[in-house]
Chains A and B, each alone.
Chain A
Amino acid sequence: MKKLEIEFTINGKKRSLSVKPNDLLINIIRNDLFLTGSKYGCGIGECGACTVLLNGEPVLSCLTLAATVDGKEITTIEGLAKGGKLHPMQIAFLKNAAVQCGFCTPSMILTATALLKENPNPTEDEIRDYMRGNICRCTGYVQIVKAIEEYAHGEKTN
């Protein structure tokens, strides 16, 4: 099959790749770029485990063709920590024990940062509503919501 040349920025670095027309973004990220923080869960848009930020917006990389990200900017969980220091949202998750098996955690943290960009001061209901497409099978929702609330409402840990 004819390959397509694409160029994009991922976690601040420019990358060029040849991809097949039917390559999914999640597979390129995990298998070609070895960024295995993003998870493949259901593959049909239901679980949210494959969430990445595309031009700053959270989207499902299992429902995104790699060919469509040409010229765009992607952030995965690996891109949040800066200079060896965790992002404050990551610290809030750790502090509140919002991580159990960890499978959903990268997507939860990315979606939470997108929520706070759109709405810096969310209520508990707004947090639950925005996070409704990210499923946690360890059902750690209470701690997850608490971590996001704590980060949003000032007790910013560094």
Chain B
Amino acid sequence: MDQFKYISPKTKEETLKILKEKRVNACIVAGCTNVLPDIKIKKISPKILVDITAIQELRGIDKKKDKICIGPLTTIAELINSELILKESKILIQAAEEFADPLVRNNATIGGNLVTASPAADMAVPLLTLDAFIKIESAREKREVKLKEFFLGPGKTVLQDDEMIVGIEFEPSDINKKGYFIKLGQRKAMAIAIASVAVNLEVKQNKISQIRVAAGSVAPIPIRLTGVEKFLANKAISNKLVEKAVNRVREEVEPISDIRASEEYRRYISGTLFKRAFNKLTN
């Protein structure tokens, strides 16, 4: 494996200072489950690894005032075991249970999953329907970005060289409690999604008062299907409506063909996954 320096800062401030000074030469690592394989295949060759796992304030899941706050170092295993997440956003637990295997989940972090910006990122899809936003810091400034504006392309995000994620937040609300996530892979364990769909829904008197739909592996980034959402808003639920929405999902996604599936199949199956998730939430 390539050579690199290793530093393990104990505080956020120390980390931001290192990022400011070293810029492109420094690479943050958390669970290492993306970074180490990438170094091995020489996709990246960082000069310095900045291990942030010792920074306690970036861990943990809390309810603060009107926000659910997830530290970026929270592992996928910790999400699965969180009572608060189970109560406020069960959809995240569903996605976490589909994630890799228990061994990878003990190291892989939610922050690392988002920054990797894979079109298939399993945590990104449900966080999109939770309307999550990302708290970002550098030595220069603090800012907040909506998750749906965070991804720019495969492997690309709005993060600058000197910035890091310090929190992932969403509102505790009725719609966030009612969600459903489905991932289709070639097999159950260790499979990257062929397609995945998340739906969060609020129904009042058989009418859709609010709906959020997101999909993974069907576009260059994990996306919200806002066309479908607009189409469904304030409509009375019927089989006919669902069939129409399924067709709209198939039109709105922008998949490609790759080793896992063809474009046509992805288009078709994302509609079907949407229908399954929607029916789960309404039956």
**Cβ-based interface call for A88 (8 A):** no
Complex contacts, B5 vs chain A, CB 8 Å: 2, 21
**Cβ-based interface call for A28 (8 A):** no
Complex contacts, A105 vs chain B, CB 8 Å: none
Give the one of B31, B100, B102, B190 with max A CB within 10 A: B102
**Cβ-based interface call for B206 (8 A):** no
Which of these, B104, B188, B189, contacts A60 with CB under 8 Å?
A: B104
**Cβ-based interface call for A140 (8 A):** no
Interface residues on B, range: 20 to 34
Give the docked Cα–Cα distance between A70 and B5 (Å): 16
**Cβ-based interface call for B154 (8 A):** no
Which of these, A63, A65, A68, A133, contacts B190 with CB under 8 Å?
A: A133
Which of these, B3, B101, B103, B190, contacts A22 with CB under 8 Å?
A: B3
Closest to A58 in B: B103
A sample of 10 cross-chain residue pairs with beta-carbon separation below 8 angstroms, ordered by A number, consists of A21-B4, A22-B1, A46-B190, A60-B103, A63-B36, A111-B103, A132-B102, A132-B189, A133-B101, A134-B101
Within 8 A of A (CB), among B91-111: 100-104, 106-107
B185 to chain A, nearest CB (A): 12
Q: Could you tell me if A63 and B189 are in contact, using CB atoms closer than 8 angstroms?
A: no
Within 8 A of A (CB), among B1-59: 1-6, 8, 31-33, 36-37, 39-40, 49, 51, 53
Contact with B along A130-154 (1 / 0, CB 8 A): 1011100000000000000000000
| 17 further interface pairs, Cβ-Cβ under 8 Å (given A58-B106, A68-B53) | A20-B3, A21-B3, A21-B5, A21-B49, A44-B40, A45-B100, A45-B103, A51-B103, A57-B106, A58-B103, A60-B104, A60-B107, A63-B107, A68-B51, A70-B8, A111-B102, A129-B188
Which of these, B6, B100, B106, B188, contacts A65 with CB under 8 Å?
A: B6
**Cβ-based interface call for B124 (8 A):** no
Give the docked Cα–Cα distance between A48 and B190 (Å): 11
Closest to A60 in B: B103
Q: Could you tell me if B102 and A67 are in contact, using CB atoms closer than 8 angstroms?
A: no
**Cβ-based interface call for A64 (8 A):** yes
Give the one of A63, A64, A111 with max B CB within 10 A: A63
**Cβ-based interface call for A24 (8 A):** yes
Q: Could you tell me if A133 and B37 are in contact, using CB atoms closer than 8 angstroms?
A: no
Give the docked Cα–Cα distance between A134 and B104 (Å): 11
* B residues in contact (CB < 8 Å) with A: 1-6, 8, 31-33, 36-37, 39-40, 49, 51, 53, 77, 100-104, 106-107, 188-190
Q: Could you tell me if A22 and B8 are in contact, using CB atoms closer than 8 angstroms?
A: no
How many contacts between A and B, using CB within 8 angstroms? 83
Contact with B along A41-84 (1 / 0, CB 8 A): 00111101001001001111001110110100000000000000
Q: Could you tell me if A59 and B49 are in contact, using CB atoms closer than 8 angstroms?
A: no
A4 to chain B, nearest CB (A): 6
Give the docked Cα–Cα distance between A44 and B4 (Å): 19
Q: A67-B51, A68-B51 are in contact. Are A132 and B190 (CB under 8 A)?
A: yes
Q: Could you tell me if A130 and B102 are in contact, using CB atoms closer than 8 angstroms?
A: yes
Q: Could you tell me if A64 and B32 are in contact, using CB atoms closer than 8 angstroms?
A: yes
Which of these, B1, B40, B51, B106, contacts A59 with CB under 8 Å?
A: B106
Closest to A71 in B: B54
Give the docked Cα–Cα distance between A1 and B53 (Å): 23
Contact with B along A114-137 (1 / 0, CB 8 A): 110000000000000110111000
Q: Could you tell me if B2 and A45 are in contact, using CB atoms closer than 8 angstroms?
A: no
Which of these, B3, B4, B104, contacts A133 with CB under 8 Å?
A: B104
Q: Could you tell me if A43 and B40 are in contact, using CB atoms closer than 8 angstroms?
A: yes
Q: A63-B36, A132-B189 are in contact. Are A1 and B102 (CB under 8 A)?
A: no
Give the docked Cα–Cα distance between A98 and B198 (Å): 39
A67 to chain B, nearest CB (A): 5
Q: Could you tell me if A44 and B3 are in contact, using CB atoms closer than 8 angstroms?
A: no
The 4 closest A-B pairs by CB, nearest first: A133-B101, A132-B189, A21-B6, A133-B103
